[in-house]
Structure 1
């Protein structure tokens, strides 16, 4: 969950481990033992615009951002 009421998930089936999210927001996104991105504790500290940009720019479209109503945002 972020400070903006969003919930963030990574789809492990579509994550291609590009590292773009990890590079753009270290701590908010981290690699797990399988070298796939996962949501880190610092995701709650990301500015809303940065979070949405990172999710939109994910080459695997693996970052899913849910609004406060629980519905996934259409970013692509």
Structure 2
């Protein structure tokens, strides 16, 4: 799984960090970022976090094995 956060679109609502706190945090400016080492996801709540984003800044895609 690959997670992409469009930082030009993110408004810092924090819904991703609420939905999947083991993957997303808010940086010092309040915008979404991935916790170190979580770039590939793995948390079952990642897709829910992407759906919860009010501006659609998070894209989750499956990676080829």
Structure 1 unaligned segments of length 5 or more: list them.
1-5, 70-76
Question: Which structure's CA Rg is the greater one?
Answer: 1
How do 1:21-36 and structure 2 match up within 5 A? 21-36=16-31
Q: Does residue 18 of the first structure (1) align with residue 8 of the second (2)?
A: no
TM-score when scaled to structure 2? 0.76
Q: Which runs of 4+ in 1 moved over 2 A?
A: 41-45
Q: Which runs of 5+ in 2 are unaligned?
A: none
What are the within-5 Å matches in structure 2 for residues 1-76 of structure 1?
6-40=1-35, 41-42=37-38, 44-47=41-44, 50-69=45-64
Q: What is the number of equivalent residue pairs in this alignment?
A: 62
Pairwise CA RMSD of aligned residues?
A: 1.8
